[in-house]
Structure 1
Amino acid sequence: MPPCCALCERPLGVKVEWHHPVPRSEGGRETVPVHPICHRTIHATFSNVELARELADFAVLRTHPEMTRFLRWIAGKPADFHAPTRVKR
């Protein structure tokens, strides 16, 4: 079974990015594999401070309303699906 994305838990495709659950700017060192679209959505939605203080645990991150909406939308897409990422306003 192929490895899965740490955020959406779908199998990873050809393109894989490495996400720091606790951003490097906040002292994080650990990385986890994610789809590029998942990675961009995380960083477009939350600040590094929010990720470090409240959302470093993916179980918690997945329950955030903006993430649950994204996860429902991305669930049926192929592994290497790409679409423009909306920036948080």
Structure 2
Amino acid sequence: MARRNSESTWPEPLPEAEPLVCALCGRETPTLTQHHLMPVLQGRRKGMKVQDLPTVGLCSACHGYVHSTFSNADLSGPYSTLEALSENEGVIKFVKWVKKQPVSKAVKVK
């Protein structure tokens, strides 16, 4: 007959991970992409190391929209902060629309 062991040999369950939230639209998403608030090329021209450039986590829809709408010159100048991006009229309209879309839907931006 087998002995009963009162102590479990199974590993402890992993704690649930915090949901990832897009910094621009606020949607919960399974993955985030890192958006450099100052483009890498402009940052390197200013003598900054790539790992020192500020980043923010965006969902793929918002990240695609930002890069399709703004040039690197815009992103290194007037839109180099999350606050400046979120106050742009076009971004406000996009965020209002994208919040209604399911995260599983592939959003195509022009």
1:18 and 1:33 in contact (8 A); partners too: yes
The structure whose RCO (Cα within 8 Å, separation 6+) is larger is: 1
Question: Residue 21 of structure 2: SS of its match in structure 1?
Answer: coil
Q: Please give the alpha-carbon distance, in whole angstroms, between the structure 2 residues aligned to 1:84 and 1:7.
A: 17
Aligned partner of 2:35 in structure 1 is: 19
Q: CA deviation at 1:78?
A: 2.2
Could you say what secondary structure the match of 2:29 adopts?
coil
Superposition misfits of 4+ residues, deviation over 3 angstroms: none
Distance 2:83 2:103 in 1: 21
Identity of aligned residues (%): 28
Aligned 1:41-80 pairs, distance under 5 A: 41-80=65-104
Report the TM-score, using the length of structure 2 for normalisation: 0.69
**Which of the two has greater strand per residue?**
2
Distance in 1 of aligned mates of 2:59 and 2:94: 13
Structure with bigger gyration radius: 2
Cα deviation for residue 45 of structure 1 reads 0.3
Would you say the 8 A contact 1:12–1:34 is kept in 2? no
TM-score normalised to the size of structure 1? 0.83
SS of equivalent residue, structure 1 residue 18? strand
1:30 Cα deviation (Å)?
Answer: 2.3
The two structures, once aligned, show a CA RMSD in angstroms of 1.6
TM-aligned CA deviation for residue 31 of structure 1: 2.1
Deviations 1:3-35 (A, max 9, x none): 21121121122x321110111111062222111
Q: Which one of 15, 20, 24 corresponds to residue 3 of structure 1?
A: 20
1:38 equivalent in alignment to 2:62: yes
Shift of 1:77: 1.8
The alpha-carbon deviation at position 60 of structure 1 amounts to: 1.6
